[in-house]
Amino acid sequence: MFACQRDVCDGSVLLDDIEDVKGEKNALPNRNSLLGFEVIDNIKADVERFCPFTVSRVDILTLAAREAIVLSGGPYWDVQLGRRDGTTASEIAANEQIPSPFDPLENIIAKFTSKGLDLKDVVVLSGGHTIGYAQCSNFQRRLFDFQGSGMPDPTLDSSLLSNLQGVCPNEDNSNTNLAPLDTASSYKFDNAYYTNLISNTGLLESD
């Protein structure tokens, strides 16, 4: 989703910063969130040895995402190939257009609808949080100072709150500690993410 949200599915999130151009890796929605860039780089290097100047990084990223979902128990689908890698990136545009872990629902819906997506798309794509982890810096304020109240988020399940406060104590050196986005089955592609939301055990404010 992060490779497609800004303009087109061009893999612009893969571009590093260069002189006078700041890429999207350090935009707020991506910072401390996306990992594994070196995996795509390594696959690209291997592909180039056998088939130079043919397969784009964004196609590799798309196929890798599909395979990760399949290996996690999710569905298989055919992937149309032939995307071209982006040559430009914009940290400012990424900050404006990609939902952040702190965005309220109305902001997320607005960002999706600006891309021609609807509420159903928001729900479906948010389900991607059935797999993966988040760093404490992306949800720590829910645990200790929700919306500047000096208190935890009152909607967060008390058992989960206690567990997360142990993983993410209110200290700067815990910012990079990790917690699963799906507290029930973090390595399995299933619908537990949605049942977590019903039971107030979603991790991020944006959930």
Last residue of a domain, one of 98, 117, 132: 98
Last residue of a domain, one of 54, 72, 98: 98
**HSE toward the beta carbon, residue 176, CA cutoff 13 A:** 5
Predicted TM-score (pTM) of this structure: 0.81
Range of the domain at 47: 1-98
DSSP 34: -
108 plus 158 within the same structural domain: yes
111 plus 181 within the same structural domain: yes
What is the dihedral sign for C-alpha 39, 139, 158, 201?
negative
Tell me: is residue 12 an annotated ligand-binding position: yes
Tell me: is residue 100 an annotated ligand-binding position: no
CA distance 119 to 141: 27
Tell me: is residue 182 an annotated ligand-binding position: yes
Question: Could you read off the pLDDT of 53-109 as tens digits, one per residue?
Answer: 999 988 999 999 999 999 999 999 999 998 887 777 777 787 788 888 888 999 999
CB 75 within 8 A of CB 17: no
Question: Could you read off the pLDDT of 152-192 as tens digits, one per residue?
Answer: 999 999 999 999 999 999 998 999 999 999 988 989 999 99
Tell me: is residue 54 an annotated ligand-binding position: no
Tell me: is residue 106 an annotated ligand-binding position: no
Tell me: is residue 130 an annotated ligand-binding position: yes
